[in-house]
Amino acid sequence: MDGRALDEGARRSQSQQAKNAFVHMIAQLKAAKSTGQRVYLGVSDAIAENMDLLEELLRNYRLADVTIVTFSEAKFKEVAATLRKGLGLAGGVATVATDQITKDDADD
């Protein structure tokens, strides 16, 4: 197997991980919405250039009423670490970096 094939395999794996994380995020938001309570989605402020895409995707999944709250990248990592510790999670809290989601990934 040559280097290009390995790079392609790694890219596909990352793309699949991003798709899985996106699907999980949508499921979690829908579950939270079903409680009738207001729903918030915390994201890194690095998403600024993709905010329109995120808002469009939320509308497409009937989640337009979800309130998006942005945090600095450092604060976002701090909050994720606090959640992991507070919830006793052995693994990581699923986060999706803004550069991992493209419109093509989210459409699947």
Burial class (CB in 10 A: 0-12, 13-18, 19+), 107: exposed
What is the DSSP secondary structure assignment for residue 91, as one 8-state letter? S
pTM of structure: 0.62
| pLDDT, tens digit (0-9, with 9 covering 90-100), for 12-58 | 777 788 788 888 999 999 999 999 999 998 888 888 888 999 999 99
| Of residues 40, 38, 44, the one with CA closest to residue 68 | 40
How far apart CA 39 and CA 52 sit, in angstroms, is 19
Greatest C-alpha distance within the chain: 52
pLDDT at 98 over 50: no
Tokens of 1: 């197997």
Domain regions of the chain by residue span: 3-107
